[in-house]
Amino acid sequence: MSGNMNLTLKVWRQKNKNAEGKLVNYQVKDISPDMSFLEMIDVLNEQLIVKGDEPIAFDHDCREGICGMCSLYINGRPHGPKDRITTCQLHMRSFEDGQTITIEPWRAASFPIVKDLAVDRSAFDRIIASGGYVSVNTGNAQDANSLPIGKEDADLSFAAAACIGCGACVAACKNASAMLFVSAKVSQLALLPQGQPERYLRVHNMVAKMDEEGFGNCTNTGACEAECPKGISLSNIARMNRDFFVAGIASDN
């Protein structure tokens, strides 16, 4: 089924990390409003491939908003014009016939470009490795229900745990700060009894790692929360700052 939308795309093309990149214009025709945004790029790529040209490289996997792999900066917004969804959940019915769409990668020094629209977000993994866990070896656990957790805390913890690690918060922030991402993990565990023993050490180590990876400072502009596809709340940053403060006092002693 083909549709009736014709669009102009301006797409960032960059051969590799060290090459220079530029915006390149493409025309796509007969796009159906029921297509997803990534399926629209598939259509363009198919045209490029059969001509022997290199298709546009972009990251994606689940295509249903959960793996956090897709990462496009569309018309100046991470994950495109609609709130609370990822790029792969965006459909062409959100655009108009004849529109020009600019597609760029996440821009942040800590997320170097791999190729075209794909970036390297491994800094996030390294931050988790520095403390985003509960130290419990397999086999150590007690019966799951021996640890009752009030529904309110459980729900708040879950809301923080919904972060998919996509990096839109960093891309949205003029300082390329990773505070929303880090605070989501810190909060998830700080709100649970299991997370208490390492609570302050965790925040200390994760913040130190975040700084070391070169992410910027938080100046409370709130752009991250506005662009986060999972609605991760700024209140997590406040919680993390409180814990970080306590951690600082504790380590001064």
Partner 1 sequence: MSILDAKIPEGTLEQKWTKFRSSVPLVNPANKRNLEVIVVGSGLAGASAAASLAELGYKVKVFCFQDSPRRAHSIAAQGGINAAKNYQNDGDSVYRLFYDTIKGGDYRSREANVYRLAEVSSGIIDQCVAQGVPFAREYGGMLSNRSFGGTQVQRTFYAAGQTGQQLLLGAYSALERQIGMGAVKMYSRHEMLETVTIDGKCRGIIARDLTTGKLERHFGHAVLLCTGGYGNVFYLSTNAMGSNVTAAWKAHKKGAHFANPCFTQIHPTCIPVSGDHQSKLTLMSESLRNDGRIWVPKKAGDTRKPIDIPEEERDYYLERRYPAFGNLVPRDVASRAAKERCDAGFGVGNSKMAVYLDFAFNMDRYGHIEASKKGLDNPDAHTIRELGKGVVKEKYGNLFDMYQQITGENPYETPMRIYPAVHYTMGGLWVDYNLMTTVPGLYALGEANFSDHGANRLGASALMQGLADGYFVIPYTIGSYLSKEISTKSIDTNHEAFSEAEKAVQEKLNKFLAIKGTKSVDYFHKKLGKIMWDECGMARTEAGLKKSIDDVRALQKEFWSDVIVPGSADEFNPELEKAGRVIDFLELGELMCIDALDRNESCGGHFREEFQTEEGEALRDDEKYAYVAAWEFKAQNQFELHKEELKYENIKIAQRSYK
Interface residues toward ligand FES, by CB under 6 A: 60-63, 65-70, 86-88
| 222 Cβ neighbours under 8 A, 6+ residues apart | 234
**The pairing of beta strand 100-104 with beta strand 118-119:** unpaired
CB of 12 or CB of 181, closer to ligand SF4:
181
Q: Which is nearer to ligand SF4, 5 or 228 (CB)?
A: 228
| Interaction partner, residue 228 (partner 1, ligand FES, ligand SF4, none; CB < 5-8 Å by kind) | ligand SF4
C-alpha span between 3 and 89 (Å, rounded)? 19
CA–CA separation, 9 and 148 (whole Å): 53
Binder of residue 223, out of partner 1, ligand FES, ligand SF4, none (CB less than 5 to 8 A by kind):
none
Which of partner 1, ligand SF4, ligand FES, none binds 70 (CB below 5-8 Å, type-dependent)?
ligand FES
List, in order, residues 6 or more apart from 99 with CB less than 8 Å away.
7, 8
Residue choice 28, 66, 201, 226 for contact with partner 1 (CB under 8 A): 66
In the region spanning residues 160 to 189, those forming contacts with ligand SF4, defined by CB under 6 A, are: 163-169, 180-181, 184
Residues 206 to 235 in contact with ligand SF4, rule: CB under 6 A = 228-230, 232
Query: Hey, what are 73's tokens?
Result: 């900066």
Q: How far is the CB of 59 from ligand FES (least distance, A)?
A: 8
Q: Is 179 exposed, middle or buried (0-12, 13-18, 19+ CB in 10 A)?
A: buried
For residue 148, state whether it binds partner 1 (rule: CB under 8 A). Answer: yes
103 binds ligand SF4 (CB under 6 A): no
- 147 lies in the binding site for partner 1 (CB under 8 A): yes
CA-nearest of 114, 183, 196, 100 to 147 is: 196
For position 18 contacting partner 1 by CB under 8 A, the verdict is: no
Nearer residue to ligand FES within complex by CB, 36 or 175: 36
d(CA 100, CA 50): 24
Q: Which string of x and - marks every residue 35-64 that binds partner 1 (by CB under 8 A)?
A: xx-xx--xx--x-xxx-xxxx-x-xxxxxx
CB 87 within 8 A of CB 77: no
Of 88-107, which residues contact partner 1 (CB under 8 A)?
89, 91, 93
How far apart, in whole angstroms, are the C-alpha atoms of residue 237 and residue 242?
9
And the tokens for 159? 């809301």
Minimum separation from the CB atom of position 219 to partner 1 (A): 27
What's the distance, Cα to Cα, between the start and end of the chain in Å? 68
If DSSP codes are grouped into helix, strand and coil, which group holds residue 218? coil
CB of 147 to partner 1, least distance (A): 7
Rounded alpha-carbon distances, angstroms, from residue 82 to 5, 8, 56: 19, 19, 23
Which residues of this chain interact with ligand SF4, rule CB under 6 A? 163-169, 180-181, 184, 228-230, 232
